[in-house]
Amino acid sequence: MKLNAPLCDASAIIDSRDGDLTAEVRHQIRYPLRVPVSFTWFSGEGTPRSAKGTSLNIGEGGAYILTRNSPPVSAQITLVFRFPHLPDFARFHRLEMGGRVVRAEVVPNGKGLWGFAVASAWTVMAENEDSDREAGDAE
């Protein structure tokens, strides 16, 4: 049986047969970065869908996003994270990630927010062509 754990922590698993407590181990570090993110996926009927939210954490292996419009579990998704202007990274203000939604849940006391986890298949730093306009657009 899987227990709900805090959003940023590894989940705990209890094997009801022997009462053994084991922690799932994440192989990549996730960083608590809260930045605007826009994402796209296709509905079950093949219609393109898009929404915006805020990252709760980002890592090489995936991300966790807070939003009002969550894609379904197993959806293939593309995310675009927009970072504020950083002088040392003058050309790179955008991180693009593609992957699959592996978990979606209503956030407790989140006032209608959903949280979803993405396992990434690829991640790329990219030049941001219009960061000032789009950075303020996220929820």
What tokens appear for 19 in the block?
């009462």
Write down the pLDDT at residue 69.
93
Per-residue buried b or exposed e for 105-124, using 16+ beta carbons within 10 Å of the residue's own CB:
eebeeeeebbbbbbebeebe
Say if 2 falls within a structural domain: no
Whether the predicted pLDDT of 19 surpasses 90: no
Nearest-5° angle of CA 127, CA 100, CA 86? Answer: 25
Q: What is the DSSP string of 48-76?
A: EEEEEEEEEEEETTEEEEEESSPPPTT-E
Is residue 23 situated within a structural domain?
no
Q: DSSP string spanning 103-118?
A: EEEEPTTSSS-EEEEE
Is 5 a domain residue?
no
Residue 6 lies in a domain: no
Tens-place pLDDT, residues 82-136: 987 767 666 667 899 999 999 999 998 878 899 999 999 999 987 766 544 444 4
Query: Which residues are CB-neighbours of 110 under 8 A, at least 6 positions away?
Result: 66
Segment 8-31 shows an average pLDDT of 45
CA atoms of 2 and 87, how far apart (whole Å): 44
The verdict on residue 15 lying in a domain is no
| pLDDT tens-place string over residues 36-72 | 999 999 988 899 999 999 999 999 899 999 999 999 9
More confident residue, 6 or 100: 100
Q: Tell me, what CATH number does 51's domain have?
A: 2.40.10.220
- Domain total for the chain? 1
Please, what sign has the CA dihedral across residues 89, 121, 61, 79?
positive
